[in-house]
Structure 1
């Protein structure tokens, strides 16, 4: 009997809230597997954007990309914050997490259907509802065990449940006109975003771990930047078949830009350094722009490779802007969630300034290499100015 109770305790543990000040808290192997599944969905969304731009359907492609990426990101983000607060790694938790992963794979399978001439939201919506339904069960479980935050956990469960009913309604009224469909989707997004804002203040914030959350967001940033590395690899592979200096230059530019974007994000400045619900939501939600723009940079390089290999009937200027625009948005997003809080003086605005310069470079007749140089210079100047503002009090002594 004692042995049976021991096995039961390992398989089904009380879902006690985690310590938000726990030392050496890091991403778990299950969370890393979750990220690996997310890679597939993100790659599918970026590939759809790449082909839409290459086929001269940029506006439609961008809208569809944002819609698809929101489904991937929102489900990932909700699970990430929940696991930071309540991960007990028992059998039920693992199985429900795997259900969420299955939903993510369903979304990935349905994303190409969104880019069709007549978009089909069925599979993406079903995959999304699967992911969110598992989250409802997880929040109900938290409500049972975390009595101090029961109202908050129940608000999450009820809020997610009600929004999923709306998503099913959205699915049942298909097909609808584009304008009505986008309007219904926007309402659903606003409802989803409202759930944490309403639930968290009810009777105590969920006990998420700051360093763990920052690490999780950093890992997803690496994943989206990997899309640019993939495009650079594609350029080199094309060049290997028949040497083309343009493709080699494209690959080198991709490497320089992705290294610069990585360096711009992973600085010594504190992410999520301020407490409070408003700043936490701003930081957490604002990363949507960082993630989408990071993945879009890779799609832009894919477009550039298509132009260089004559698979897309577009001017090189279109390829330049397919890269420059998401790079500028990436810098602006980093300013929005971090630099305007952590930097002072000129350093605060460097990413914004060089993002604008990068947008001007193609119009001035300079190509991809100039965009890469501007991106690198942005990081160098910004970090140099930050180091000066850090050292200046010491020098004053």
Structure 2
């Protein structure tokens, strides 16, 4: 696609045919996964060092910035992607911002937030420019919505920068939580009078593609961990169950996520907000599965300061959260009957309990996840009206 020099930025049609993700959006996603990988690496190191509480807290905070910046860009692009030169340059600036953010992730886990806030502000101010362009090109309620978005984003960025001046401690933590809430409320407030023209099929594809990339990063990180452990410790026998179980979990996660199309459920903002916001849990837990596999590998070769149960839960915990959230956001809208509806919640509980199964925990969790897919396929064949492909 050749970009024009510039064009008036007005909303695209929600019913536009053949709307798919662009090469620029795919490039954007791949660069964001750099930050996801950094967050996962720090989660592994902090957990393996025996500080799981600090690790999870830092990971969830850092992942919020990654997810929220990605999500805001994706919904804006679904409504206003003009693919002209200013749009492309602004998107590339956002990519530069996420790379700055990624570089600051290790320091953020140690309490130094300056670099991640700088990268976040770069991403968000580039998006503000996009919203101001949309406001210039629109009229009436659409213009007010665009200006509300721009104003809300700017206010939140000023607050992030101001919080860097607050000494570390409970006051800063409370301030960060308040600004996170403010960030989440900006779309809710901006869209009250006018719904932006996001495209349901395009949005569902964008989320699906990012899920694929995050799962791919999970496989990559786990593979490197297993390879390194084999090279250094020649512990193939201890690592094979972890590798096999982790692979089954990731395969099942992919299968369940893409079992049925979700764009038909995204009829308006009420459904879209819950679904879109809920993906913070989907993305963060998917990435955490890979980090958990790395922790389990390090524990198996004696490099992690964790019990076997603790290391196993680093895998089974996020896997259970992922399965339950997928049921909540996706599967329950297409399943019929108590049997179909119960598969994923029950599987999530059983996977979590696998943490107490000793060295076979990850393998057992992978088998349960695979059995959940098989059960879904069997029940779907008996009830074709559910349109299940699981």
- The TM-score bracket by the shorter chain reads over 0.9
Is contact 1:81-1:213 (8 Å) kept?
Answer: yes
CA distance in 2, matches of 1:51, 1:147: 51
Q: Determine the C-alpha separation between the residues in 2 that align with 1:36 and 1:391.
A: 37
**Retained in 2: the 8 A contact 1:264–1:379?**
yes
Give TM-score, length-normalised by structure 2.
Answer: 0.93
Unaligned 5+ runs, structure 1: 1-6
1:221-240 matched pairs, under 5 angstroms: 221-234=211-224, 235-240=226-231
Aligned to 2:265, what secondary structure does the other structure show? coil
Asked if 1:85 corresponds to 2:75, the answer is no
2:176 corresponding residue in structure 1: 185
Corresponding residue number in structure 2 for 1:150: 143
Instruction: Check if 1:72 corresponds to 2:72.
Output: no
Give CA-to-partner distance per residue, 1:5-64, whole Å, 9 cap, x none: xx9x92111112112111111111111111111010000001111111101110111011
Paired residues, what number? 381
Partner of 2:188: 197
TM-score (norm 1): 0.92
Structure 2 gaps of 5+ residues are none
Does 1:359 find its partner at 2:352? Answer: yes
Contact 1:239 1:248 in 2 (8 A): no
Which of residues 284, 288, 301 is equivalent to 1:292?
Answer: 284
Contact 1:332–1:352 at 8 Å: present in 2 too? Answer: yes
2-side partners of 1:274 and 1:209: how far apart? 9
Contact kept? 1:227, 1:299, Cα under 8 Å: no
Q: Deviations over 1:263-306 (max 9, x none)?
A: 01011243461423221100000011000000000010010111
Note the C-alpha offset of 1:165.
Answer: 1.3
Moved more, 95-104 or 264-273: 264-273
- Are the structure 2 counterparts of residues 30 and 344 from structure 1 closer, same or farther at C-alpha, using a change threshold of 3 Å? same
- 8 Å CA contact 1:272, 1:280 repeated in 2: no
Is the 2:222–2:291 contact (alpha carbons within 8 Å) kept by the matching residues of 1? no
Task: Tell me if the contact between 2:235 and 2:301 (Cα under 8 Å) persists in the aligned partners.
Answer: no
| Structure 2 counterpart of 1:368, from 341, 362, 376 | 362
Q: Distance in 2 between matches of 1:57 and 1:243?
A: 25
Is 1:105 the equivalent of 2:77?
no
Greater displacement, 131-140 / 383-392: 383-392
Q: Is the 8 A contact 2:10 2:80 kept in 1?
A: yes
Q: State the distance in 2 between where 1:387 and 1:237 align.
A: 43
Deviates more, 1:336-345 or 1:54-63: 336-345
Larger mean CA deviation between 45-54 and 237-246 belongs to 237-246
In 2, distance between residues paired with 1:217 and 1:125? 25
